[in-house]
Structure 1
Amino acid sequence: MNLTISGHHLEVTPALREYVLTKLDRVTRHFDQVVDINVLLTVEKQKEKERRQKAEVTVHVKGRDIFVEQANEDLYAAIDQLMDKLDRQVGRYKEKVQDHHHASAKRLDVPAP
């Protein structure tokens, strides 16, 4: 699994990197077929004080890219909300990928009495 954590108008400190890694551990524990993860942390230069800190993540799994973004006035809160959203999306994708089809009774090889 390739992991990229980058910042835009922001220096990614070791504490911030460790926080993102611990949060991503929850997602990768649920679903182990993750190929690539890109995390972008941004401080936007907007006039409105709320929603200036933004976190985005793109998770590349086999057959699909899952993109989630979340903005908040606190970067750590944005990362928390982002990981909650990502966990739900990965869970939905995992359910969709799993084979829920069962062999029909006609196809089973059961000898007739």
Structure 2
Amino acid sequence: MNLTISGHHLDVTPAIRDYVQNKLERITRHFDQVIDTHVILAIDNLTEKEKRQKAEINMRLSGKTVHVESVAQDLYAAIDLLMDRLDRQVVKHKTILQNHAHEAPKRMPEGGAEATA
């Protein structure tokens, strides 16, 4: 898996990089067919008192690209929220793939005599 972590108006420290990598391990436990991942961390300075931390991710899986965004007051909280949302989408994609693979036998006729008649 290729991992790219970048920051807008923010220096990505080794602590933040390690935190994101540790959180992404949970995703790869569920689904190991991840091609590459782009994480963008940003700080939006709206006013002096109101600072918004934004985290977004683009993850290319086999057959799909997943895009998730989250916003919070704290960057670590935004990353946690991002990983929770991403985890739900990856698990949903995995169940769709598994269910799709098993649909064909359900639609086959049960008896050979009924199929020929």
Structure 2's unaligned 5+ residue stretches are 113-117
Question: Secondary structure at 2:59's aligned position in 1?
Answer: strand
Residue pairs, 1:29-40, within 5 angstroms: 29-40=29-40
Provide the residue aligned with 1:100 in structure 2.
102
| Amino acid across the alignment from 2:4 | T
TM-score (norm 1): 0.88
Provide the residue aligned with 1:87 in structure 2.
87
| Amino acid across the alignment from 1:81 | L
Shift of 1:102: 5.1
1:11 and 2:5 aligned: no
Q: Distance in 1 between matches of 2:26 and 2:111?
A: 41
TM-score (norm 2): 0.85
- Percent identical: 53
Residue pairs, 1:20-99, within 5 angstroms: 20-47=20-47, 49=50, 52-98=52-98, 99=101
Structure 1's unaligned 5+ residue stretches are 108-113
Q: Distance in 2 between matches of 1:106 and 1:28?
A: 42
